[in-house]
């Protein structure tokens, strides 16, 4: 079959494209930049997801569309969140349906749940995003659902937890850098609630399971073994063998300060980070396990692997136009906090 992966040069899209290629599938990548390390057998189409004519051309002859294009919280894209994450998703779904695609797989986000009142999150948990990125991702998912319902194109929606794994930089680059330097790291509040991550390879295993099952639906994907955020950080520091400590910050004052720094452009942290990461967050993955999914990584295991990869590749050259999760983040005023830690 022929597959189109939108955003196939990004962290997750790249993994999907390469996994499909390894299975012997024909793969086409639609993105605004080309990963120079991508296999030559993956066809590349340079196109912005907002370019309807370009998207329509890329859809020709495609059996399955894997829609991953999205501006992530780190980009702090303002109104462009709506243009790309909502309008772009609608364009992708509409053109896929017109081209006769047999299935559409939409990569959504755990940000749709905002700050859930109880965990684990399950099918009964209301969708209540608390910031602009989450609201745009919700509207984008709804736009795709409407198109698929109207055209009869089967739809699979994936809502992953925060991903870790080899090649994952973004906000984790700051965390790993501070720990390797023996600097203190901080949690807002106590960091004592259950907090779930997801390894990218476990994500890929479920993704392919859902693809092969051909079962339309919405799937929340996260690790089956996790503890608190504080425990994850303390265990990583113990593994790293540095002098870092996990310090708690007062909730109200810290959020207000980070909001101000964010508005002034002095912090890399976006509202999704400072409004939610001090709250418990985990998916109920029992329905996925019942489908036969067998995740391999706990929170601690994926943190250790990602940290080791960071140490081994911290001096690698990374293109400025790489996706936000595949390149380092500028610390802004946080560099001063690091120096004082």
Same domain, 121 and 244: no
22, 30 Cβ separation under 8 angstroms: no
Q: How far apart are the C-alpha atoms of 303 and 167, rounded to whole Å?
A: 12
66, 4 Cβ separation under 8 angstroms: yes
Is the residue at 73 inside a domain? yes
Residue 163 in tokens: 């991903």
Same domain, 43 and 57: yes
Same domain, 246 and 275: yes
Report the pLDDT value the prediction gives residue 99, as an integer from 0 to 100.
98
Same domain, 153 and 182: no
- Domain span at 186: 165-196+225-282+297-340
Residue 283 CA: distances (Å) to CA of 38, 124, 163: 32, 12, 14
Report the pLDDT value the prediction gives residue 75, as an integer from 0 to 100.
85
Cross-strand pairs, 186: 247
Report the pLDDT value the prediction gives residue 325, as an integer from 0 to 100.
46
Q: How far apart are the C-alpha atoms of 115 and 100, rounded to whole Å?
A: 38
Same domain, 54 and 79: yes
Report the pLDDT value the prediction gives residue 324, as an integer from 0 to 100.
44
Determine the distance from the C-alpha atom of residue 9 to the mean position of all C-alpha atoms in its chain, rounded to a whole number.
13
Same domain, 114 and 189: no
Beta-carbon contacts of residue 149 (< 8 Å; ≥ 6 apart): none
Same domain, 147 and 172: no
Q: Is 245 exposed, middle or buried (0-12, 13-18, 19+ CB in 10 A)?
A: middle
Domains in the chain, number: 2
Supply the CATH number for residue 146's domain.
3.40.50.720
Is the residue at 255 inside a domain? yes
Is the residue at 289 inside a domain? no
Q: How far apart are the C-alpha atoms of 329 and 86, rounded to whole Å?
A: 25
Same domain, 169 and 141: no
Same domain, 11 and 93: yes
Angle between helices 88-98 and 52-59 (to 10 degrees): 40
Same domain, 155 and 191: no
Same domain, 188 and 269: yes
Is the residue at 216 inside a domain? yes
Radius of gyration of the chain (CA): 20
302, 164 Cβ separation under 8 angstroms: yes
Report the pLDDT value the prediction gives residue 77, as an integer from 0 to 100.
84
Is the residue at 288 inside a domain? no
Report the pLDDT value the prediction gives residue 331, as an integer from 0 to 100.
64
Is the residue at 89 inside a domain? yes
66, 49 Cβ separation under 8 angstroms: no
Residue 278 CA: distances (Å) to CA of 17, 211, 249, 252: 34, 34, 10, 11
Cross-strand pairs, 303: none
Rounded to a whole number, what is the largest CA-CA distance in the chain?
58
Count Cβ atoms below 10 Å from residue 123 Cβ, excluding itself.
Answer: 9
Instruction: Cite the DSSP H helix spans in 163-298.
Output: 171-180, 200-213, 229-240, 251-263, 271-276, 286-290
Supply the CATH number for residue 257's domain.
3.90.25.10
Q: What are the average pLDDT values for consecutive 10-residue runs of the chain, which has 341 residues?
A: 96 95 97 92 97 98 97 88 97 98 98 96 96 97 98 98 87 91 95 95 97 96 97 98 96 94 88 92 98 97 95 73 51 61 67
Q: How far apart are the C-alpha atoms of 228 and 242, rounded to whole Å?
A: 20
Residue 81 in tokens: 């969140």
Report the pLDDT value the prediction gives residue 247, as an integer from 0 to 100.
96
76, 153 Cβ separation under 8 angstroms: no
Is the residue at 86 inside a domain? yes
Q: How far apart are the C-alpha atoms of 284 and 294, rounded to whole Å?
A: 14
Residue 152 in tokens: 């009869």
**CA angle at 113 for the pair 76 and 153, rounded to the nearest 5°:** 90
Q: Which of 303, 162, 161, 294 is nearest to 221 (CA)?
A: 161
Residue where the block lists tokens 């009869």: 152
Q: What is the dihedral of CA 58, 60, 63, 65, to 10 degrees?
A: 30
Report the pLDDT value the prediction gives residue 326, as an integer from 0 to 100.
45
Same domain, 140 and 185: no
Residues in the chain: 341
Report the pLDDT value the prediction gives residue 170, as an integer from 0 to 100.
78
Is the residue at 7 inside a domain? yes
């Amino acid at each position: 079959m022929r597959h189109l992966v939108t955003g196939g040069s990004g962290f997750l899209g790249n993994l999907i494209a390469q996994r499909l290629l390894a299975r012997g599938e024909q793969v086409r990548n639609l993105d605004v930049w080309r990963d120079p390390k991508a296999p030559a057998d993956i066809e590349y189409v340079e196109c912005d997801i907002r370019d309807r004519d370009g998207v329509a051309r890329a859809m020709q002859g495609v059996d399955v569309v894997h829609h991953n294009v999205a501006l992530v919280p780190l980009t702090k894209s303002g109104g462009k969140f709506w243009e790309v994450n909502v309008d772009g998703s609608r364009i992708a779904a509409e053109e896929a349906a017109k081209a006769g695609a047999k299935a559409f797989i939409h990569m959504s986000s755990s940000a749709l749940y905002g700050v859930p009142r109880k965990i684990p999150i399950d099918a009964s948990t209301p969708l209540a995003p608390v910031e602009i990125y989450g609201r745009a991702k919700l509207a984008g998912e709804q736009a795709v659902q409407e198109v698929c319902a109207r055209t009869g194109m089967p739809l699979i929606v994936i809502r992953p937890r925060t991903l870790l794994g080899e090649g994952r930089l973004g906000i984790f680059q700051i965390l790993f850098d501070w720990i390797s330097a023996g600097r203190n790291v901080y949690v807002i509040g106590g960091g004592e609630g259950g907090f779930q991550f997801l390894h990218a390879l476990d994500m890929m295993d479920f993704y392919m399971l859902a693809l092969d099952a051909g079962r339309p639906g919405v799937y929340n994907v996260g690790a089956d073994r996790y503890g608190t955020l504080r425990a994850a950080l303390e265990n990583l520091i113990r593994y790293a063998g540095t002098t870092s400590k996990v310090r708690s910050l007062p909730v109200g004052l810290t959020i207000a300060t980070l909001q101000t720094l964010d508005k002034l452009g002095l912090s890399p942290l976006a509202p999704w980070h400072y409004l939610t990461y001090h709250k418990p967050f985990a998916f109920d993955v029992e329905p996925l396990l019942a489908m036969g999914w067998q995740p391999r990584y706990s929170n601690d295991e994926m943190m250790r692997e990602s940290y080791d990869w960071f140490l081994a590749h911290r001096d690698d050259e990374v293109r400025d136009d790489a996706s936000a999760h595949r390149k380092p983040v500028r610390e802004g005023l946080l560099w001063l906090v690091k120096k004082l830690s």
